[in-house]
Amino acid sequence: MLQITLNRPHARNALSKTLLSEVADTLNIASEDPEVRCIVLTGDNEAFSAGADIKEMPEEGIPMFADASRLTAWKTIEQFRKPIVAAVNGYALGGGCELALLCDIVICGENAQFGTPEIKIAAFPGDGGTQRLPRLIGKARAMYMVLTGERINAEVACNWGLVSEVLPSGETVNRALEIAETIAEYSPIALEMAKAEILMSFSKPLDESLSLERQMLLWQTEDHDEGIKAFVEKRQPRYIGR
């Protein structure tokens, strides 16, 4: 397991190009490391992340959003195959909210605030937010967030299904690590397949994703054999990721 902590507290962990690339580079390394079975992603108590670094914008303007390294970094996060558990405290705004949306399990502190305030700077959540939000919380709520730029608190985020648990903010990282430890016990290949299958439900028509789910179920793995054997023999399984 690997914990990634966003660490630009002076800028509320705004995702500068450098910070975003660092996250992506770390995930690239983690994806090749068999010891890393699950990632915990967090910020600090004030902010998970306040989104794209607005102060970088005047320098680079619109081309910043088309910058290849920025787009590659987002793609890397989006395509990361191992589970990511986010522990969100404080602000998760704009790109910070979009980053949380890319995590597989999100838990948050009572002080968390989610929002897409881009409209206030005449922009919109263009790193996946306009597409993922309505799929996750429905059109009316997504429109409310994107068109008003108003933030929602932890309780509302939980009721709307953006997060699965709300805890006192001091407990979120430990809880995320606990969830990650549970996940890390399981077969890496089974986790990858399970994650891919759930994500398919957002990108493919139901008949196609059901058929792909069926095909993946028929893909026998050594780990699956081992899981069954261990159950019958009443022992802990030893998974090898094949």
**In terms of CB distance, is 117 or 188 closer to ligand CAA?**
117
- Pick from 19, 23, 40, 51: which binds ligand CAA (CB under 6 A)? 51
Q: Describe the strand order of the beta sheet including 47-49 as a list of residue ranges.
A: 47-49, 91-93, 113-115, 152-153
The residue of the chain with the least Cβ separation from ligand CAA equals 94
Please state, as a whole number, how many other Cβ atoms lie within 10 Å of the Cβ of residue 191: 21
Binding-site size, ligand CAA (CB under 6 A): 18
Tokens of 67: 């910058």
**Catalytic residue among 51, 96, 109, 118, which?**
118
**In terms of CB distance, is 42 or 187 closer to ligand CAA?**
42
Angle between helices 129-137 and 139-148 (to 10 degrees): 140
Stretch 95-134: interaction string toward ligand CAA, x if CB under 6 A: x---------------------xx----x--xx-------
Classify the C-alpha dihedral 216-195-102-166 as positive or negative.
Answer: positive
Active site residue 196: no
CB of 123 to ligand CAA, least distance (A): 4
53 binds ligand CAA (CB under 6 A): yes
Q: Where are the beta strands (DSSP E) in the chain?
A: 2-5, 39-42, 47-49, 84-88, 91-93, 105-109, 113-115, 152-153, 165-167
**Catalytic residue among 98, 112, 115, 180, which?**
98
Q: Which residues make Cβ contacts (< 8 Å) with residue 27, sequence separation at least 6? A: 4, 39, 76, 77, 80
**In terms of CB distance, is 34 or 61 closer to ligand CAA?**
61
241 binds ligand CAA (CB under 6 A): no
**In terms of CB distance, is 91 or 114 closer to ligand CAA?**
91
**In terms of CB distance, is 30 or 47 closer to ligand CAA?**
47
- Pick from 4, 36, 54, 190: which binds ligand CAA (CB under 6 A)? 54
Phi–psi pair at 118, nearest 5 degrees: -55, -35
**Catalytic residue among 50, 52, 73, 180, which?**
52
Give the β-pairing of 91-93 and 47-49.
parallel
55 binds ligand CAA (CB under 6 A): yes
Q: Name the nearest CA neighbour of 108 among 185, 184, 49.
A: 49
Active site residue 118: yes
Active site residue 180: no
Q: Which residues are catalytic?
A: 52, 95, 98, 118
